[in-house]
Amino acid sequence: MSIELSRQSERWLRVLVERTTDIIALVTFDGTITYVGPSIERVTGYTVEEVVGRNGFEFVHPEDLEYTTQQLTGILDQPGNSATIEFRYCHKNATWRWMEGTLINLLDDPVVGAVVCNYRDITERKQAEEERQQLLAREQTARAEAEAASARLYDLFMQAPAMMAILHGPEHRIEFANPLVQPHRDRADILGKTAREVSPELVEQGVLAILDEVYTTGTPFVATEFPVRIDHRGDGVLEETYYNCVCQPLRTAQGHIEGILAHSVVVTEQVQARRRVEELNRQLEAEKDALRQAEQEAQARAAELEAVLEAMTDGVIVCDARGVIRYTNAAYRSLLELEEDTDPSVLLLDNRFEWLSLRDKEGRPLPKEQLATLRVLRGERFSGIHAVDHLCRTRKGKDLILSASGAPIRDAAGQIVGGVVVFRDVTRQRHMEQQLQYNERKLRTLEDSNILAVAVSDSAGRIHEVNDRFAQLVGYSKEELLSGAVTKDHLIPEDYREALAQHEEILLATGAMPPWEKECLRKDGSRVPALMTGAMIDQERGLALVLFHDISERKAAERRKQEFLSMVSHELRTPLTSIMGFIDLALLYSELFPRPLSPEAEQLLGKMETGLKRAMGQVEVETRLVEELLEVTRLELHKFELSLQRENLVTIVQETVANQQQAACTRQIELVLPPDELVPVIADAGRVGQALTNYLTNALKYAPVDQPISVRLEVMGTVARVSVRDQGPGLTAEQQQRVWERFYQVAAPGRQGPDGGLGLGLAIARAIIEQHHGQIGVESAPGRGSTFWFTLPIEVSPEG
Could you say whether residue 60 binds ligand ADP (CB under 6 A)? no
Measured N-to-C along each axis, helices 761-771 and 685-702 cross at an angle, to the nearest 10 degrees, of 150
Q: Is 768 in the site for ligand ADP (CB under 6 A)?
A: no
Cβ–Cβ < 8 Å for 216, 177: no
Q: Under the criterion CB under 6 A, does residue 388 sit at the interface with ligand ADP?
A: no
Nearer to ligand ADP, 245 or 763 (CB): 763
**Least Å distance between CB 548 and ligand ADP?**
30
Q: Cα 275 from chain centroid?
A: 37
Q: Answer yes or no whether residue 711 interacts with ligand ADP by CB under 6 A.
A: no
* Selected binder of ligand ADP within 615, 715, 758, 794 (CB under 6 A): 758
Q: What contacts 24+ positions apart, CB below 8 Å, involve 157-166?
A: 161/265, 162/263, 162/264, 162/265, 163/243, 163/262, 163/263, 163/264, 163/265, 163/266, 164/261, 164/262, 164/263, 165/261, 165/262, 166/250, 166/259, 166/260, 166/261, 166/262
Binding region for ligand ADP (CB under 6 A) out of 166-174, 427-435, 723-731, 792-800: 723-731
Beta strands in 588-738 (DSSP E): 645-648, 669-672, 680-683, 709-716, 719-726
Is residue 797 exposed (0-12), middle (13-18) or buried (19+ Cβ within 10 Å)? exposed
Q: Is the CB of residue 767 less than 8 Å from the CB of residue 777?
A: no
573-580, long-range: CB within 8 Å, 24+ apart, which pairs? Answer: 573/623, 573/626, 573/627, 573/630, 576/619, 576/622, 576/623, 576/626, 577/623, 579/615, 579/619, 580/616, 580/619, 580/620, 580/623
Q: Does 626 bind ligand ADP (CB under 6 A)?
A: no
Q: How far apart are CA 313 and CA 320, in angstroms?
A: 23
CB of 768 to ligand ADP, least distance (A): 13
Q: Shortest gap between Cβ of 573 and ligand ADP (angstroms)?
A: 18
Residue 77 or 734 having the CB closest to ligand ADP? 734
Q: Smallest distance, Å, CB 698 to ligand ADP?
A: 3
| Alpha helices per DSSP H over 160-201 | 187-190, 195-198
Q: 184 vs 784, which CB is nearer to ligand ADP? A: 784
Contact residue for ligand ADP among 728, 768, 769, 772 (CB under 6 A):
728
**In whole angstroms, what is the distance from residue 238 CA to residue 218 CA?**
30
> Of 36 and 699, which has the nearer Cβ to ligand ADP?
699
Least separation in angstroms between CB 584 and ligand ADP: 26
Taking CB under 6 A as the rule, does residue 699 contact ligand ADP? yes
For position 698 contacting ligand ADP by CB under 6 A, the verdict is: yes
With both helix axes pointing from N to C terminus, report the angle between 599-636 and 552-592 in degrees, rounded to the nearest 10: 160
Per rule CB under 6 A, is residue 408 in the interface with ligand ADP? no
Shortest distance (Å) from residue 655 CB to ligand ADP: 21
Tell which residue, 416, 430, 423, has the closest CA to residue 380.
Answer: 416
726 forms part of the interface with ligand ADP (CB under 6 A): yes
596: cis peptide before it, omega within 30°? yes
> In this chain, which of 45, 759, 777, 793 binds ligand ADP, going by CB under 6 A?
759
Q: Helix, strand, or coil here: 268? A: helix
**Nearer of residues 631 and 647 to ligand ADP, judged by Cβ:** 631
Q: Does 767 bind ligand ADP (CB under 6 A)?
A: no
Residue 777 lies near ligand ADP (rule: CB under 6 A) = no
Closer CB to ligand ADP, residue 35 or residue 744?
744
By C-beta, is 220 or 782 nearer to ligand ADP?
Answer: 782
- Considering the complex, state which of residue 264 and residue 787 has its C-beta at the smaller distance from ligand ADP: 787
Question: Which of 72, 760, 767, 776 lies at the binding interface for ligand ADP (CB under 6 A)?
Answer: 760
DSSP 8-state secondary structure symbol assigned to residue 232:
S
Q: Which span (105-113, 156-164, 649-657, 761-769) binds ligand ADP, by CB under 6 A?
A: 761-769
Question: Per-residue x/- mask for ligand ADP, residues 163 to 182, rule CB under 6 A?
Answer: --------------------
Q: Does position 709 bind ligand ADP by CB under 6 A?
A: no
CB closer to ligand ADP, 707 vs 775: 707
- Options 68, 328, 566, 786; binder of ligand ADP; rule CB under 6 A: 786
Q: Does 746 bind ligand ADP (CB under 6 A)?
A: yes
Please report how close the Cβ of residue 687 comes to ligand ADP at its closest, in angstroms: 16
Residues belonging to the chain: 800
Question: How many CA atoms does the CB half-sphere of 235 hold within 13 Å?
Answer: 3
745 part of the interface to ligand ADP, by CB under 6 A: yes
701 in Cβ contact with 753 (< 8 Å): yes
Name the residue nearer to ligand ADP (CB basis): 80 or 782: 782
* 762 near ligand ADP, judged by CB under 6 A: yes
How many residues touch ligand ADP under the rule CB under 6 A: the total is: 21
Binding mask 635-674 toward ligand ADP (x if CB under 6 A, else -) reads: ----------------------------------------
Write down the least CB distance from residue 700 to ligand ADP, Å: 9
- First and final C-alpha spacing in the chain: 208
Interface with ligand ADP, residue 447, by CB under 6 A: no
* Whole-number Å distance between alpha carbons of 144 and 151: 10
Q: How far is the CB of 452 from ligand ADP (least distance, A)?
A: 32
Q: Which is closer to ligand ADP, CB of 387 or CB of 746?
A: 746
Q: Which residue is nearest to ligand ADP (CB)?
A: 757
Does residue 761 belong to the site contacting ligand ADP (CB under 6 A)?
A: yes
Nearer to ligand ADP, 309 or 724 (CB): 724
Nearer Cβ to ligand ADP (317/739): 739
Residue 631 binds ligand ADP, judged by CB under 6 A: no
Please report the DSSP string for 281-335 in residue order. HHHHHHHHHHHHHHHHHHHHHHHHHHHHHHH-SSEEEEEETTS-EEEE-HHHHHH
Q: Name the residue among 296, 294, 222, 213 with its Cα closest to residue 257.
A: 213
Q: Give the range of 8-16, 505-513, 684-692, 759-767 binding ligand ADP by CB under 6 A.
A: 759-767
Minimum CB separation of residue 762 from ligand ADP in Å reads 4
| Segment interacting with ligand ADP, rule: CB under 6 A, options 60-68, 163-171, 177-185, 740-748 | 740-748
C-alpha dist (Å) from residue 662 to 311, 655, 657, 658, 666: 78, 11, 9, 6, 9
- 694 and 765 in contact (C-beta within 8 Å)? yes
230 exposed, middle or buried (CB, 10 Å; 0-12, 13-18, 19+)? buried
- Sign, CA dihedral 504-506-509-510, equals negative
Question: What is the rounded CA–CA span in Å between residue 589 and residue 310?
Answer: 100
Nearer to ligand ADP, 550 or 636 (CB): 636
104 binds ligand ADP (CB under 6 A): no
345 burial via Cβ count (<10 Å: 0-12, 13-18, 19+): exposed
Cβ atoms of 446 and 454 within 8 Å: the answer is: yes
CA gap 692, 683 in Å, rounded:
13
**CB 419 within 8 Å of CB 318:** yes
Q: Rule CB under 6 A: choose which of 739, 767, 768, 769 binds ligand ADP.
A: 739
- Pick from 751, 770, 773, 784: which binds ligand ADP (CB under 6 A)? 751
Please state whether beta strands 719-726 and 709-716 pair in parallel, antiparallel, or not at all (unpaired): antiparallel
The footprint of ligand ADP (CB under 6 A) covers 694, 698-699, 702, 726, 728-729, 731, 739, 744-746, 751, 757-763, 786
